[in-house]
């Protein structure tokens, strides 16, 4: 496999932008570097197995000091992988072939990753057994956990969904899936009956607020929850509002507005 030489001038287009479509591996080297000459054939041999799914380029740090400086390349060989316009993995030195193979394998979807992708186009009934089978083999497979938790949440099985999500580190996406599972339990609620109960009971107002949120009536939900909080249901109303913030995301105007109002009411 012939590996193209990269330049400072072409780096933005041929590495950063191209990595938004395919992973790009950059082999930072120099002509005088013995370990570089030892590592490069290994990279090229392994890269041939990924032809079409991973792009590999070489970059002479002496001829292209700007890029080397930008990414803090202080010793060579340095190998760096880019995905979605940013560096995501890498290693230093002339590593054994097994390590280089593991590095490349981590850049492309595994068979289980592809199974999760295929499951996304299936019905929930078809997808769930496939996702559970993956989780028997890999108990913390993030994609399978998120996909199955969404299915369970939509079925009203919030506790099982959240138990699954506890296997992986919490981040914004995990919080959104957990919040959606909590909200889904209120989707089928009788809004008229809940509204009647909420008119004289702050605790019922929290339940009504959650049901409004589940129905997608977010502004009305926040208003009910703020009223409930001010009437004494501080913890319960706050918890539902936090779920809504997670579900809507930090940039949503309603999150910005009611997060500020919640903080003012609590503190």
Q: Establish whether the linkage from the previous residue to 77 is cis, with ω within 30° of 0.
A: yes
216 neighbors 254 (Cβ within 8 angstroms): no
CA-derived radius of gyration, the chain:
26
Euclidean distance between CA atoms 231 and 225, whole angstroms:
10
Tokens 């996304």 sit on residue: 120
Q: Which of 24, 36, 229, 246 is catalytic?
A: 36
What contacts 177, CB < 8 A, 6 or more positions away?
146, 149, 150, 153, 161, 165
260 is catalytic: no
Euclidean distance between CA atoms 228 and 191, whole angstroms:
16
Q: Which of 33, 147, 148, 183 is catalytic?
A: 33
DSSP of 25-58, one letter per residue?
EEEEE-TT-HHHHHHHHHHHHHHHHTTTT-EEEE
36 is catalytic: yes
Catalytic residues: 33, 36
């Amino acid at each position: 496999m012939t590996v193209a030489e990269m330049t400072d001038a072409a780096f933005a287009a041929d590495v950063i932008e191209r990595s938004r479509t395919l992973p790009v591996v950059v082999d930072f080297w120099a002509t005088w570097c013995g370990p570089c000459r030892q590592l490069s054939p290994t990279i090229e041999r392994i890269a041939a197995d990924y032809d079409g799914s991973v792009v590999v380029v070489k970059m002479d740090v002496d001829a292209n000091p700007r890029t080397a400086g930008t990414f803090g390349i202080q010793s060579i060989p340095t190998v760096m992988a880019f995905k979605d316009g940013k560096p995501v993995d890498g290693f230093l030195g002339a590593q054994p072939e097994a390590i280089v193979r593991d590095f490349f394998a981590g850049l492309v979807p595994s068979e289980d990753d592809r199974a999760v992708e295929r499951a996304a186009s299936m019905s929930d009934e078809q997808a769930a057994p496939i996702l559970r089978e993956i989780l028997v083999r890999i108990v913390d497979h993030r994609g399978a956990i998120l996909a199955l938790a969404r299915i369970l949440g939509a079925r009203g099985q919030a506790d099982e969904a959240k138990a699954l999500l506890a296997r992986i580190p919490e981040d914004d996406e995990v919080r959104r899936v957990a919040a959606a599972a909590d909200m889904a339990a209120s989707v089928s609620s009788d809004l008229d009956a809940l509204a009647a109960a909420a008119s004289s009971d702050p605790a019922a107002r929290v339940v009504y607020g959650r049901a409004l949120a589940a129905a997608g009536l977010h502004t009305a939900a926040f208003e009910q929850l703020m009223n409930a909080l001010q009437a004494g249901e501080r913890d319960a109303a706050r918890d539902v509002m936090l779920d809504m913030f997670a579900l809507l995301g930090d940039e949503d105007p309603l999150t910005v507005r009611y997060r500020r109002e919640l903080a003012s009411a609590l503190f």
